[in-house]
């Protein structure tokens, strides 16, 4: 019993120290948000929790929001989180809510109240035709507005007659739905131009109001002498959504003649006799109802009765008020403790119309009755046999068509300490890292977790964390012999050792890597032979992974079988010279690799390379070259006509190297030296030879002469000047007699020809070539090149341009023509009609004789109507040319057809769908699959980036015993379209029979930030059809398509998945490859790759937005390697590499732009940016500028300082005038107030214009006027009594002033008698007096409350009555009071003091007649 009490106390302490994650709706507070399209609005929640929730997600219509086309998430307000719609669109309509969770690794979560977002809109009137309505004189007429389709909380209707707005009255008014109702139609009502106007204030300016077509009213006949009362437009049964409309009307337009009948209203047969906060019966033709917050009593039957005193008419309607649910029975606000195996009963109740329904959630997941231990029945939830899985945040949501309300509570389940994750024994090599994980659980949870090594404190080289909530880690970065057979202990304990301490121990086994040795170090073989190379490995404990390299290049087995690899043996067949070199064998075990090398020498027979024919001019020397490849080196000889040649006067043999020999034939003669020469090479393997024919030719002769040609501007041309076989030919090229300088880019010399690229008019002229050789100089051959400049549009847009609403579009059109012609004109046309684009930009190139003209068409903020066919036309006297383009508004794709899914067994389903009926006007870029698995109709993204060319896919990673629905979304360049209809339900079942060839056991381990090791066991039940495996894996964080790796050998039981993303969660399945095509797929396992720093942000641009501010914008990193936590911007003066960089942190990881304030506006800066994730900060990216740099601050201009100086001078003059005026005024106000009146002060000291002003006597207590009412209240005496010296006193009976006379002709007490005699400061001034005629010395009421004037002029005293403001004799200049007890009063604005009148208990004036009560005549506020 004591243990239970202690546990409960500790549990309560823990609960009080922690609060569950919660999102409370801040705006809109009532759960409904109505706003016009294009406007910016927010949905805001106040997020709380201890610890503060790490995982926060927004949902719309049951699906998580992952695309933010026109939406931003603002988390900069501390606990306030907002979903901001930058420009509201119709597609944003829906039901939104927010789910917050402590972290990804914890269950505690809650769902917010739902927010309905509706978008106001106002279409155009459908018809423009004039309607005609006829009415009898004296009868009624209804002119129908027939408003266009619209939505808004309070649409406003008004009517105009012949352009003049109609003012409503008892006989003519506008109904709630826009119709104009006219009672007792008269001739004056005849008109052919009545128009209805509808307006919705929440829409954007320019879209708020639409005017309808004309309605004609024809008045006919004569009025009857008497028409009994009748209901012209009566009330109708209706249901009112109290969230959308808080105020509405019950119409009852009544007609009669000649007198309009009077109307009485009844609610449930009880007459409504007067207006109030709910019912307004001031208007004759309708009852206006304002729904209160508690709207239950407004739903009723309302009846209107009309009567003219003789006859009556009646009509009634039933009104229902629809409201969102209000929780009246909530879940407990404090956490509830339950012990294991007990029963949990929760209930909540709500009131609403229509009757609400209920949904229950645990940790933001909807609960359903499961027929086992969970029973959901309306507002009641019962769970029997609860355990630790049932703890968390429980929510009851009451909902109907109007909205929803949520009640939240927390359930704790007590449980003993245990290990969620235990450290596992490791077997590692020296130098490798060893990592251990540990996590405990319990309720109350562990209050401490610590690590020990060999029973004591871990060494300093070991790294570890002592987390309580998430997984704790212990890492030995580099295992040494000191850690051999070491013990790592994880120890957890509960609060005040409530439960026994628990310990988990793991052992470190240390091993060395594999020892590798080549069987032979040097190997020799002949070409064509086969050779085996073998390595031996020792000291291994598991499977070895072998790799072979040749000259440091990895060897891959080829398809023709010439190279084969069998573990530790490499076999190479049909050896060639390329196979010679160093070979390396590598043996790897668990990431530890060792290697050894060997050298293979390949002996090869001679291979000769030599020309087959050489031409030479007679009398020249010729060199014949013979190159040979062979191993060992060959012997090379030269032979002619069967005779071996040797060095002599005719021949010289030059041995360049062991493999190259050159034969030189001197002074070649046609009749003696022409013939065949043989080169012969031999080595121990073989002898080979090759021949070359030597020929003598005549002198150089030009065979292809240059030709005249005409070339268009900016094209390319060439000029040829080829000769016969003439080895010594040298070409000289000239233009207009000058030797051409070749630059290698535009002018290119190819010997017998030249090429001219990007021809311009100045390239025209006479080109000549001259061929020189050792046989003699040739003669020049020339040709003329003429350059033409046709009228051309050389810059123009693509044939089609797609745009989105609001885009800025610039269509460029630039043309050129020959300058010798007349000026070229450039014009734009849309759908055949010319568009005025402003000034034509022209330029003349006098050097090249070219005329340029440019006319760019700019559309600043494109809308749908800007689409169409555009033409750019350039024209001059030569004619015209044109380029066409089409502008099209980019549209979203429509929904694909309903998908069909089929379960294939063991976690795999096949899914197919049909293409969208309209993909939008841009090609589809991908499909997305969304999945729902809990029957709660909440779909989440599952697969992204599916190939748009296919309409089927295989779904992997499905769990057994689940129910799945799928939706498909098409994506194009604009964004995502709507989701398809949900697919048929797929129910996965647990396989009852043991599958053949199924991999039942496999393990995953993260090798690095971009690779995972997969190991599996051979299927226990297998047959001969098993041929290999297919590893299926995908990045869960990116929800990408699965990737595959195929293993051809069924005996191979491990592989490595490479090129993965760092810090990401991967799902893996193993599918067995079966020749019979029987499907066998393993269960799903997940693994987290090691963290890697992100790549740099992409495409960073830094521009000066103002002289002292830079706007930096960027794209997210191509490879974030996990979740981006923040960005960092660095900047400094350009070129100042020794200056420190200024650092600006961008904490919002979703941001892609930031404004940065500069230290010095007059210099240029260099900017770079980095991204950071949990692994650290990535490499920087140097930001570029788009050319908007402002080098000089605008305020450095001389005119700026001149303006500042002029403004300062004017300001000083104004101050001087004020000072002089105040000084002169002060001089007229008499002496300053003294602090203490003289003891001998007498009554006469207060008379006359020069009376002294005294401050309060120190013996007199004084309380200031109360806040909000500077003028203390006081009562009056009998009307006209001569001693009523007070503000507003005297004989004048001010209406709303000193109050109307009571029956005893006295004044009502405790009223506010202010300077203008109003009840309170909030009352409006009254225009007139009542009662006695006001004396001429009273001022009228002031138009607004004002402080006392600086001076009041004295009025002529009137015996016995108050004179001027403040009453009393005006002879007292300064307004101080002197009472019968000769004590001085406080000198306040109204000279009042706190009276001691015990019978009234409120301040009063001194009643001594003849003294200056209430301020006197000349009240000088400046002397107070």
- Mean per-residue pLDDT, 1215-1222: 84
How much is the pLDDT for 1255? 33
Model pLDDT for residues 426-460, shown as the tens digit of each residue: 887 777 889 999 988 776 677 788 899 999 999 99
- 9: pLDDT strictly greater than 90: no
Count CB atoms within 10 A of the CB of residue 606: 23
Beta bridge partners of 1106: 1109
Nearest to 306 by CA among 350, 353, 254, 248: 254
- 1409: pLDDT strictly greater than 80: no
Dihedral sign, CA of 1413, 1414, 1419, 1424?
positive
In whole angstroms, what is the distance from residue 221 CA to residue 219 CA?
Answer: 7
CB 449 within 8 A of CB 491: yes
Which of 1042 and 1283 is assigned the larger pLDDT? 1042
How much is the pLDDT for 1189? 39
- 1388: pLDDT strictly greater than 70: no
3-class state of residue 15 by DSSP = helix
How much is the pLDDT for 999? 86
Helix (H) or strand (E) holding 753: strand 753-756
Burial class (CB in 10 A: 0-12, 13-18, 19+), 1368: buried
- Mean per-residue pLDDT, 938-952: 87
Which of 387 and 1129 is assigned the larger pLDDT? 1129
Dihedral sign, CA of 1324, 1326, 1331, 1333?
positive
In whole angstroms, what is the distance from residue 1148 CA to residue 1170 CA?
Answer: 14
How much is the pLDDT for 785? 92
CB 1414 within 8 A of CB 1372: no
Model pLDDT for residues 385-410, shown as the tens digit of each residue: 887 778 888 999 999 988 889 988 88
Counting Cα atoms < 13 Å in the Cβ hemisphere of 1398 gives 0
Model pLDDT for residues 672-709, shown as the tens digit of each residue: 889 999 999 999 989 999 999 998 766 577 778 888 99
Model pLDDT for residues 718-749, shown as the tens digit of each residue: 999 888 767 778 888 999 988 888 888 889 98
CB 9 within 8 A of CB 27: no
Model pLDDT for residues 85-101, shown as the tens digit of each residue: 988 888 888 999 999 98
Lowest mean pLDDT among 302-311, 1098-1107, 1337-1346: 1337-1346
Strands 191-199, 115-122: pairing is unpaired
How much is the pLDDT for 725? 67
How much is the pLDDT for 1027? 85
Dihedral sign, CA of 453, 457, 459, 464?
positive
Beta bridge partners of 448: 493
- The greatest distance separating any two alpha carbons of the chain, rounded to the nearest whole angstrom, comes to 164
Which residues neighbour 567 within 8 Å (Cβ) at sequence distance 6 or greater?
Answer: 544, 546
How much is the pLDDT for 511? 77
How much is the pLDDT for 929? 92
How much is the pLDDT for 370? 85
Pseudo-torsion of CA 909, 913, 919, 922, nearest 10°? 40
User: Angle at the Cα of 922 (from 920 to 926), degrees rounded to 5?
Assistant: 90
Model pLDDT for residues 765-823, shown as the tens digit of each residue: 999 998 877 655 567 888 999 988 888 888 888 888 888 888 889 999 999 888 777 78
- Mean per-residue pLDDT, 1158-1176: 81
Dihedral sign, CA of 984, 985, 991, 993?
negative
Model pLDDT for residues 866-915, shown as the tens digit of each residue: 888 999 999 888 788 889 998 888 888 888 999 998 887 667 888 999 99
Model pLDDT for residues 1228-1257, shown as the tens digit of each residue: 444 433 333 444 444 444 333 443 433 333
DSSP label of 187: G
Burial class (CB in 10 A: 0-12, 13-18, 19+), 194: buried
Counting Cα atoms < 13 Å in the Cβ hemisphere of 335 gives 25
Pseudo-torsion of CA 788, 789, 792, 794, nearest 10°? 110
Rounded to the nearest 5°, which phi and psi values hold at 761?
Answer: -55, -35
Mean pLDDT of the chain: 78
Which of 1242 and 961 is assigned the larger pLDDT? 961
Which of 1031 and 845 is assigned the larger pLDDT? 1031
Lowest mean pLDDT among 41-55, 334-348, 1335-1349: 1335-1349
Tell me the two tokens of residue 1011.
Answer: 């690779």
How much is the pLDDT for 453? 94
Model pLDDT for residues 155-197, shown as the tens digit of each residue: 889 999 888 999 888 889 898 888 999 988 888 888 888 999 9
In whole angstroms, what is the distance from residue 135 CA to residue 222 CA?
Answer: 10
Lowest mean pLDDT among 488-492, 746-750, 1370-1374: 1370-1374
Which residues neighbour 297 within 8 Å (Cβ) at sequence distance 6 or greater?
Answer: none
For the chain, percent of residues with pLDDT exceeding 70: 79
Q: What is the pTM of this model?
A: 0.37
CB 1016 within 8 A of CB 1055: no
3-class state of residue 1186 by DSSP = coil
Nearest to 286 by CA among 241, 329, 238: 238
């Amino acid at each position: 019993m004591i243990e239970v009490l202690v546990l409960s106390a500790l549990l309560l302490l823990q609960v009080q120290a922690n609060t569950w994650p919660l999102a409370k709706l801040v705006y809109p507070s009532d759960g409904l948000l109505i706003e016009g399209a294009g406007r910016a609005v927010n949905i805001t929640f106040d997020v709380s929790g201890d610890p503060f929730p790490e995982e926060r997600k927004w949902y719309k219509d049951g699906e998580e929001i992952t695309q933010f086309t026109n939406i931003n998430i603002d988390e900069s307000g501390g606990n306030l989180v907002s979903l901001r719609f930058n420009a509201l669109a119709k597609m944003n309509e829906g039901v939104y809510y927010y789910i917050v969770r402590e972290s990804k690794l914890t269950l505690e979560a809650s769902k917010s109240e739902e927010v309905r977002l509706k978008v106001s809109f106002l279409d155009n009137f459908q018809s423009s035709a004039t309607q005609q309505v006829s009415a009898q004189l004296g009868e009624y007429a209804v002119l129908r507005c027939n408003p266009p389709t619209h939505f808004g909380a309070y649409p406003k209707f008004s009517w105009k007659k012949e352009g003049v707005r109609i003012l409503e009255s008892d006989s003519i008014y506008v109904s709630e739905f826009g119709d104009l109702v006219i009672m007792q139609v008269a001739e004056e009502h005849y008109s052919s131009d009545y128009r209805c106007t509808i307006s919705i204030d929440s829409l954007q300016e320019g879209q708020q109001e639409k005017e309808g077509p004309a309605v004609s009213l024809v008045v006919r006949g004569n009025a009857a002498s008497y028409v009994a009362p009748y209901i012209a437009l009566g009330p109708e049964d209706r249901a009112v959504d109290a969230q959308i409309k808080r105020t509405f009307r019950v119409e009852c337009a009544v007609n009669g003649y000649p007198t309009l009948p009077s109307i009485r209203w009844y609610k449930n047969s009880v007459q409504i006799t007067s207006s109030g906060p709910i019912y307004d019966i001031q208007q004759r033709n309708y009852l206006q109802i304002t729904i209160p917050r508690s709207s239950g009593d407004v739903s009723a039957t309302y009846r209107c009765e009309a009567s003219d005193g003789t006859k009556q008419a009646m009509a009634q309607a039933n009104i229902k008020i629809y409201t969102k649910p209000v929780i009246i029975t909530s879940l407990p606000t404090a956490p509830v403790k339950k012990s294991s195996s007990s029963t949990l009963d929760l209930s909540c109740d709500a009131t609403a119309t229509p009757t609400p329904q209920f949904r229950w959630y645990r940790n933001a997941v909807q609960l359903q009755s499961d027929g086992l231990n969970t029973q959901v029945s309306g507002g009641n939830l019962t769970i029997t046999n609860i355990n630790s899985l049932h703890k968390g945040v429980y929510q009851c949501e009451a909902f109907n068509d109007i909205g929803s309300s949520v009640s939240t509570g927390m359930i704790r389940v007590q449980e003993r300490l245990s290990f969620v994750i235990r450290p596992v024994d490791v077997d590692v090599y020296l130098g490798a890292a060893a990592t251990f994980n540990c996590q405990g659980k319990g309720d109350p949870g562990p209050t401490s977790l610590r690590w020990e090594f060999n029973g004591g404190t871990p060494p300093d080289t070991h790294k570890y964390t002592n987390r309580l909530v998430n997984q704790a880690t212990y890492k030995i970065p580099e295992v040494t012999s000191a850690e051999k057979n070491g013990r790592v202990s994880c120890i957890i304990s509960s609060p005040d050792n409530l439960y026994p301490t628990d310990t988990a121990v793991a052992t470190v086994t240390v091993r060395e890597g594999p020892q590798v040795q080549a069987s032979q170090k040097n190997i020799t073989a002949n070409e064509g032979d086969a050779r085996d190379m073998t390595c031996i490995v020792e000291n291994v404990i598991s499977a070895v992974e072998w790799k072979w390299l040749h000259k440091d290049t990895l060897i891959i087995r080829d398809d023709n079988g010439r190279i084969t690899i069998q573990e530790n043996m490499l076999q190479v067949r049909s050896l060639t010279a390329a196979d010679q070199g160093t070979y390396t064998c590598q043996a790897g075990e668990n990431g530890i690799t060792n290697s050894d090398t060997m050298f293979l020498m390949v002996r090869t027979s001679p291979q000769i390379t030599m020309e087959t024919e050489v031409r030479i001019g007679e009398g020249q020397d010729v060199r014949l070259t013979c190159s040979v490849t062979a191993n060992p080196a060959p012997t090379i000889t030269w032979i002619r006509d069967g005779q071996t040649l040797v060095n002599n006067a005719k021949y010289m043999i030059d041995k360049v190297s062991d493999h190259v020999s050159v034969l030189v034939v001197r002074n070649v003669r046609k009749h003696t030296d022409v013939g065949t020469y043989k080169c012969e090479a031999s080595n121990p393997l073989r002898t080979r030879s090759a021949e070359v024919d030597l020929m003598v030719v005549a002198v150089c002769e030009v065979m292809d002469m240059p030709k005249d040609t005409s070339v268009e501007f900016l094209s390319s041309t060439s000029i040829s000047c080829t000769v016969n076989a003439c080895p010594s030919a040298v070409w000289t090229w000239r233009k207009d007699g000058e030797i051409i300088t070749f630059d290698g880019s535009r002018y290119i010399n190819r010997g017998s020809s030249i090429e001219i690229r990007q021809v311009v008019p100045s390239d025209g002229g006479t080109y000549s070539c001259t061929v020189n050789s050792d046989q003699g100089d040739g003669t020049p051959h020339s040709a003329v090149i003429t350059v033409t400049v046709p009228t051309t549009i050389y810059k123009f847009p693509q044939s089609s341009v797609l745009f989105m609403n609001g885009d800025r579009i610039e269509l460029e059109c630039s043309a050129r023509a020959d300058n010798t012609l007349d000026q070229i004109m450039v014009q734009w046309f849309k759908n055949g009609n010319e568009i005025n684009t402003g000034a034509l930009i022209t330029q003349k190139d006098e050097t090249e004789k070219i005329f340029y003209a440019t006319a760019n068409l700019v559309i600043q903020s494109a809308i749908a109507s800007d689409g169409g066919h555009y033409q750019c036309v350039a024209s001059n006297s030569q004619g015209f040319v044109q380029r066409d383009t089409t502008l099209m508004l980019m549209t979203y794709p429509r929904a694909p057809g309903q998908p069909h899914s089929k379960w294939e067994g063991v976690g795999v389903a096949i899914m197919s769908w049909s293409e969208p009926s309209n993909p939008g006007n841009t090609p589809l870029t991908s499909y997305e699959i969304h999945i729902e698995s809990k029957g709660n109709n909440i779909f989440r993204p599952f697969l992204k980036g599916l190939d748009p060319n296919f309409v089927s896919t295989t779904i992997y990673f499905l769990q057994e015993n689940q129910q799945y629905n799928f939706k498909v979304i098409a994506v194009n360049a604009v964004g995502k379209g709507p989701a398809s209809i949900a697919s048929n339900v797929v129910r996965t079942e647990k396989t009852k029979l043991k599958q053949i060839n199924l991999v039942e056991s496999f393990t995953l381990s993260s090798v690095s930030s971009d690779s995972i090791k997969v190991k599996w066991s051979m299927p226990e039940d297998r047959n001969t059809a098993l041929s290999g495996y297919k590893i299926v894996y995908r990045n869960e964080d990116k929800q990408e398509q699965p990737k595959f790796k195929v293993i051809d050998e069924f005996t191979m039981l491990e592989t490595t998945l490479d090129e993965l993303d760092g810090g990401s969660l991967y799902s893996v399945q193993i599918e067995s490859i079966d020749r019979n095509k029987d499907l066998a797929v393993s269960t799903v396992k997940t693994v987290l790759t090691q963290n890697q720093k992100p790549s740099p942000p992409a495409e960073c641009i830094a521009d000066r937005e103002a002289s002292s501010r830079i706007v930096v914008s960027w794209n997210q990193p191509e490879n974030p390697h996990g979740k981006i936590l923040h960005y960092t911007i660095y900047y400094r003066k350009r070129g100042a590499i020794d200056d420190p960089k200024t650092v600006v942190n961008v904490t919002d990881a979703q941001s892609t732009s930031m404004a940065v304030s500069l230290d010095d506006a007059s210099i240029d800066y260099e900017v770079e940016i980095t991204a950071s994730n949990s692994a650290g900060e990535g490499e920087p990216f140097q930001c570029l500028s788009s050319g908007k740099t402002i080098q000089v601050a605008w305020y450095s201009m001389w005119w700026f300082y001149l303006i500042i100086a002029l403004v300062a001078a004017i300001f000083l003059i104004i101050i001087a005038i004020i000072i002089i005026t105040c000084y002169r005024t002060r001089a007229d106000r008499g002496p300053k107030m003294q602090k203490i009146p003289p003891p001998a002060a007498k009554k006469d000291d207060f008379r006359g214009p020069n009376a002294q002003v005294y401050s309060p006597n120190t013996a007199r207590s004084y309380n200031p006027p109360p806040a909000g009412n500077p003028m203390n209240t006081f009562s009056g005496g009998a009307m006209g009594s001569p001693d009523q010296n007070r503000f507003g006193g005297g004989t004048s009976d001010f209406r709303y002033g000193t109050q109307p006379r009571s029956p005893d002709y006295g004044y009502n007490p405790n009223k506010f008698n202010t300077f203008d005699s109003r009840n309170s400061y909030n009352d409006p001034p009254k225009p007139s007096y009542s009662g006695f005629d006001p004396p001429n010395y009273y001022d009228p009421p002031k138009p607004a409350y004002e402080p006392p004037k600086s001076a009041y002029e004295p009025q002529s005293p009137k015996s016995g009555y108050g004179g001027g403001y403040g009453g009393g004799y005006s002879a007292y200049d300064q307004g101080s009071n002197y009472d019968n007890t000769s004590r001085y009063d406080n000198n306040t604005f109204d000279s009042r003091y706190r009276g001691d009148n015990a019978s009234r208990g409120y301040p009063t004036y001194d009643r001594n007649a003849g003294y200056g009560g209430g301020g006197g005549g000349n009240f000088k506020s400046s002397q107070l």
